[in-house]
Amino acid sequence: GAGVSQSPRYKVAKRGQDVALRCDPISGHVSLFWYQQALGQGPEFLTYFQNEAQLDKSGLPSDRFFAERPEGSVSTLKIQRTQQEDSAVYLCASSLSGGGYEQFFGPGTRLTVL
């Protein structure tokens, strides 16, 4: 079956540009997570949705980062006025809800800010 898909796979932005990263979770998965992975590090949590409700956004590094999931399926992570330190791989994961279920990850979007 179809896994988690993300687009674009690669994005190059000039400093100060806005970017939008898309995530299509596995059909029927209630929970959706965004993570940021810097080079040589493990993924770090950004934000979490259960259906359309954003239950935790404690990992968003600044108010330039914004995520939405308006209909409880596709999610978009938006970064405004990108900075060089935003360069990273952005991973999306989805899971069934209720605990005890693994998160399935997409391939990620590699963002490079010049």
Partner 1 sequence: DQQVKQNSPSLSVQEGRISILNCDYTNSMFDYFLWYKKYPAEGPTFLISISSIKDKNEDGRFTVFLNKSAKHLSLHIVPSQPGDSAVYFCAASSNFGNEKLTFGTGTRLTIIP
- Residues forming contacts to partner 1 in the complex (CB under 8 A) are 4, 31, 33, 35, 40-45, 48, 56, 59, 91, 93, 95, 97-108
**Shortest distance (Å) from residue 107 CB to partner 1:** 5
How far apart, in Å, are the Cα atoms of 23 and each of 16, 29, 67, 75, 105? 23, 12, 11, 5, 10
Identity of residue 111: L
The nearer residue to partner 1, 66 or 107, going by C-beta atoms, is 107
CB contact at 8 A, 64 and 79: yes
**Shortest distance (Å) from residue 77 CB to partner 1:** 15
Pairing, β 53-56 against β 31-37: unpaired
The nearer residue to partner 1, 19 or 48, going by C-beta atoms, is 48
**Shortest distance (Å) from residue 6 CB to partner 1:** 8
